[in-house]
Chains A and B, each alone.
Chain A
Amino acid sequence: MPVLRGAVTFSRFLVEPAEGAPADLKRSLSRALKARAFAPIERRSEEERAAGFVELENHDATDFATGDLFYGEYALFAYRIDQIKVPGPVLRAEVDKWAAAFEKEKGRPPSRGEKGENRSSVRQLLRNRAVPITKVHDVSWNLKSQQLQIWAASRKAVEEVLGGLETAFKIKLIPLIPASVAARTGIEDSALGPTAELIGMELQAEVSHGEA
């Protein structure tokens, strides 16, 4: 739970409401989180992945009661991703073991169809035994300053949480990088081409031909 303790690593964004966003975001926050709440992987189904919002301090809870969601100016919650992986080599070894037993018993190797059928049942069996890998990424959202932090180290995780947030809340998250800071202050793109003397002349030529 990096918001509460541990490594301070996060991506920074500014929240901008998109079209159709509710006027009173604070009120609709809990509802939006519940609509995209985390639901565990259904063991009987084929799905290998589940993702959604959970409470910050209890990663199995999706009630988002006011007392658990708000902390002063902040809304604090988390995004949970569960994944079940059936290791390929284990599956192959199990199928080979079955094929050897089949041949011994019937005096012929299994047909492709029989092998395929067995593969899917072995896969399901291994899936049922596998423990899901869980990753949880905290989100802190200052509702006053509209700054939002995604507490994750991997960029892939940040992108996924970002997508989840933008869909759930109908917001646009602007990364706090120089290009967006410049755009916010009204500086035009044309004034911010690469500096040839610092970066190298060849890029300047490319950019002026419209590749950037």
Chain B
Amino acid sequence: MGKREQAREEAAFMRGDVGVDGAATEEKQDAAEVERGKAREALLRGKAYLGREFLTWLLWRSESGEPVAAFEKTGLSVLFLGRVVLKGISGDVTELSARGAMAPYSEQVRQGMDRGLLVHQARLMLTHGEKAYEVTLDAEFLDIRAAKLPALMSEEDDSRTGERLYLAEQLSAMITTLVEAFIAVRAGRTWSKQVVPAMKEWMRGEEGTRKQTALQRAASARKR
């Protein structure tokens, strides 16, 4: 053994990395375990699980096509569009991304949710009266990302700024309204006794008839 090699081994022993037999003192963590640990940390950070439960609840509520909440005395409808990212903490899969016109309402996504993966990021269309907004939301911060606001009506630059700010704030307020509606249900007595069992039934595909409704809505949304 060369001097340098010997010195390296002694240093490792002094650091406590290896024992007298030269074997590692601590077993290296399994890669899957590391992955699950990261997923768990991401879920608990800032109560991100509430955000995921919110988006999952919203997906379930939106499928019927009925308004999910009232905003400024008018119904607020939600439709999930395009790409959806699911995240979870158990099992072999901790993240799943699905892309497709109706991917969020697909059987594959619902099966993933039934196995503990919840919606972490999604693209939504919010319809309020005659105005339609599109936005991408993530569960941890509920930041507004790449939003599409309704067409601006004003022609002058100054008024357009005001209108843009107003619409951006309306969109933010709509998200808050949806969160408030969720929190009211989430903290209520029906959450664990009625809502969660109904969501699980839907995830397992035991509800049956709603899928067609969502497809019809997507088709009409595209026409608009």
Say yes or no: A8 contacts B144, CB within 8 Å.
yes
Binding stretch for chain B, among A27-35, A38-46, A194-202: A194-202
How far does the Cβ of B130 sit from chain A's closest Cβ, in whole Å? Answer: 19
Question: 1/0 per position for A175-212, CB-CB distance to B under 8 A?
Answer: 11111011001010001101101111011001100011
The answer to whether B47 and A179 touch across the interface, beta carbons within 8 angstroms, is yes
- 30 A–B contact pairs at CB < 8 A? A3-B161, A4-B164, A8-B148, A9-B147, A11-B141, A12-B143, A12-B144, A71-B165, A72-B162, A147-B172, A149-B172, A158-B143, A176-B175, A177-B50, A177-B51, A177-B141, A179-B50, A181-B176, A181-B180, A181-B183, A187-B187, A195-B192, A197-B196, A197-B200, A199-B89, A199-B116, A200-B116, A203-B43, A212-B44, A212-B47
Knowing A198-B53, A198-B116 touch, does A178 contact B145 (C-beta < 8 A)? no
Q: Are A155 and B141 in contact (CB under 8 A)?
A: yes
Would B88 and A140 count as touching, CB distance under 8 A? no
Task: Please count how many residues in chain B sit with their CB below 8 Å of the partner chain's CB atoms.
Answer: 52
Does B162 contact A142, Cβ atoms closer than 8 Å? no
- The residue of chain B having its C-beta at the shortest distance from the C-beta of A10 within the complex is B144
CB distance B50 to A182 under 8 Å?
A: yes
Per the bound structure, the CA–CA distance linking A12 and B135 in Å amounts to 14
Residue of B nearest to A152 (CB): B143
* B7 touches A (CB below 8 Å): no
Q: Which residues of B contact A71 (CB under 8 A)?
A: 161-162, 165
**B183 touches which of A74, A187, A202 (Cβ 8 Å):** A187
> Secondary structure at chain A's binding surface: helix, strand, loop or mixed?
mixed
A191 to B184, CA, bound (A): 11
- Give the size category of A's interface with B: 35 or more
Chain A positions near chain B (C-beta within 8 angstroms):
3-5, 7-12, 71-72, 74, 140, 142, 145, 147, 149, 153, 155, 158, 175-179, 181-182, 185, 187, 191-192, 194-195, 197-200, 202-203, 206-207, 211-212
Beta-carbon contact of B144 and A199 below 8 Å? no
B140: shortest Cβ distance to chain A, in Å? Answer: 8
Known A-B contacts A149-B172, A182-B183; the reply to A8 vs B43 at CB < 8 A is no
Do the beta carbons of A198 and B199 come within 8 Å of each other? Answer: yes
| B46 in the interface (beta carbon within 8 A) | yes
When each residue 198-210 of chain B gets 1 if its CB lies under 8 Å from chain A and 0 otherwise, what string results?
0110000000000
Q: Are the CB atoms of B43 and A140 closer together than 8 Å?
A: no
